[in-house]
Chain A
Amino acid sequence: MADPLLDSLLAPGPAPTRAAPAWLDAARRQAREALVREGLPGARNEAWKYTSLRALAQRRYMPGDAQAATRNLERGLADLPGLGDARLVFANGVFRADLSRLPEAAGLVVEPLADALADADGLARASFERRFDDPAQVFARLNTALADDGFVLRVAPGARVAEPVHVVVLGAGAQALAWNLRLVVELGAGSALTLVEHHAGEADDAQLGNVVAEFALGAGARLDLLQLQVAAESATRIRRSAFTLAADAVLNLRTLELGGALARHDLVVGLDGDRARLTSRGVFVVRARQHSDTRLDVRHRARDTACDLVWRGVASGRARGVLHGAITVDPGADGTDASLDTKNLLLSAQAEIDVQPVLEIHADEVKAAHGATVGQLDERALFYLRTRGLPEAEARALLTLAFCRVAVDTLENVALREHVDALLLERLPVHGEPA
């Protein structure tokens, strides 16, 4: 099936620096063939129901960025308060050694993807040989076909890395470039890691960034992950974050989707081992013409596993926010405890929020709850604040901030928490946007 957008995305990019091993060529070819055979998902595909790829289809992208390794970048893009200066920076899909400083901690190893791909039986191979059989996973296929940068990060069994690791994924330049990035993280049994995944970019960033991040948590491992997506409002970011949790592993996830003209994020979590536990706090805030589509797909595959998902969404202007929250309890995953709570605020008449909670239970003794609401600010609270002297706009902003703060109010890093508060506040329609 000929598709000009797909053709432009699949066009060969800057030549890879080294020859690929045969298994990798095979994996890439397989992904590419599936893409060409099945094409981009249309509006009838459930997973792309709310995010039409038609808007994208008007565009043609240049594959990769030949200047990515040397491009001058605006200063400060990668900075976040409350974190040390160890960071791993990628610009337009390419690692920037000049802007990075490798974190040093006992038991922590970071390997460039290219090196990892040379290893015939490493993690990278497993990642690239993973088949994406669902045609909806079009961008994951694309990523497998093309991604040649990223990293493999490993934490040795039992190692507890105290310093947060800061990963920065930047987009730069007003040229329509498409790039792919693959991040692979493995936490050995009983290890612990705090990671900040930071997606940002220059103000005129028009890139299509396609990021696949995979996290494997060994038995009893704990990952605290903050995902902060503040890409420019002209950027397109398509991300897949996939997690597998072995027995007793704990994933504590905080996700902020604040940037992008089009931001699509698939969060896929497999609770594969007994007693594995996921806590997910998230928020999307969209304004003007932003479009944000987040899909949670949590699978309980083992006994006594738990997930606790709390999400907030705010849309103003003509923006659209989508949250699909699916929890599936497989046969045999008895004793599962699952809950999804999503509340959403519409701040303008032209904004739209679509929420779809989906709960599928095939096991016994399952405790499951979900609630979803879309509404406006509490008028009583608004009046109360105003009677104390707060101007209406300020009162609205304060209440809206309070509303979305659930995603971050448990963040222990105070400087980071305050920064995130400020980012949220910045995006709320305080100044005269019609309510």
Chain B
Amino acid sequence: MLKIENLHVRVAGKDILKGLSLSVGAGEVHAIMGPNGAGKSTLGNVLAGRDGYEVVDGSVTYDGIDLLALEPEQRAAAGVFLAFQYPVEIPGVNNTYFLRAALNAQRKARGEIELDSIQFLRKVREKLAVLHLKDELLHRAVNEGFSGGEKKRNEIFQMALLEPRLAILDETDSGLDIDALKMVADGVNAMRDPTRAFVVITHYQRLLDYIVPDFVHVLADGRIVQSGDKSLALKLEEEGYAWVAERRVAGAA
């Protein structure tokens, strides 16, 4: 479904991703772990199409097409979703209005029928229940005044509503209490199916107890330096990234 090959990305004149390769198949859950500043969020941003991220080398194909050639909204319509590490507050833009406009824009781009407000609200109620989000948040401006945890849950709520085929969750677990963590995991697990894939960026093995990954990767210094199954996450939890640094030196040599 997603194939990243030898990706080199420069941000503000600085090389951040330095030959990253990763394949994600439909139905799979991949966890990406790695030290601060390794380039995890950069990867998410590049996949979502953020400006200012210069792809110097390499390729990204999604369902056989060149993902990097698409505008962010085209990627969204094609089923790519990024849950932001730091969701943006947008004063003055009503949450419900925005979500309906977004969903219908995607549907329109895919040639599907747009939802009227009744159909839309039915869908919203359904998804809200899973995440135990307060109705009231819907009437506010996008993320404005949301607590840290509410912002993260709102990201997952948006994911549930937009039903993407490839979801990249960037530290959605950071700052969540244990109940919220379970809700987020429930939200993800409810969507797991053979046609859908998840890339879960996290610092904590705990999340992976709830969202059990098929693969775990270590991203350090701009590339994947180690891949394995979920036991790799346990090893990282115990030993930290020091041994990764050694490998990186070995790899560079």
Contacts and interface: CB of A to CB of B under 8 A. Distances in A.
A390 B50 contact: no
Nearest to A402: B92
B76 A386 contact: yes
Interface stretch (A187-195, A315-323, A392-400): A392-400
A409 B71 CA distance: 32
A384 B84 contact: yes
A435 interface: no
A391 B73 CA distance: 6
Interface stretch (A19-27, A109-117, A375-383): A375-383
A379 B84 CA distance: 15
B101 A384 contact: no
Contacts of A409: 92
Contacts of A76: none
B198 interface: no
Given A384-B84, A384-B90, A398 B101 contact: yes
Nearest to B47: A387
Contacts of B101: 390, 394, 398
Nearest to A386: B72
Interface residues of A, number: 24
A388 interface: yes
A389 interface: yes
B49 A387 contact: yes
Contacts of A399: 90, 93
Given A386-B72, A387-B81, A388-B158, A406 B92 contact: yes
A392 B73 CA distance: 8
B88 interface: yes
B238 interface: no
Interface in A385-434: 385-392, 394-395, 398-399, 401-403, 405-406, 409
A394 B88 contact: no
A398 B84 CA distance: 20
Given A384-B84, A394-B101, A389 B90 contact: no
Contacts of A384: 84, 87-88, 90, 142
Contacts of B93: 385, 398-399, 402
B114 to A, nearest CB: 12
B55 to A, nearest CB: 16
A36 to B, nearest CB: 49
25 contacts: A379-B51, A381-B90, A383-B48, A384-B88, A384-B142, A385-B102, A386-B73, A387-B49, A387-B72, A387-B73, A387-B75, A387-B76, A389-B76, A389-B77, A389-B105, A389-B109, A389-B162, A390-B101, A391-B73, A398-B93, A399-B90, A401-B92, A402-B90, A402-B93, A406-B92
Given A383-B48, A384-B90, A387-B76, 7 more contacts: A383-B88, A385-B98, A389-B109, A390-B105, A395-B73, A402-B90, A402-B93
What are the nearest 4 A-B pairs in CB distance? Answer: A402-B92, A389-B106, A389-B76, A388-B102
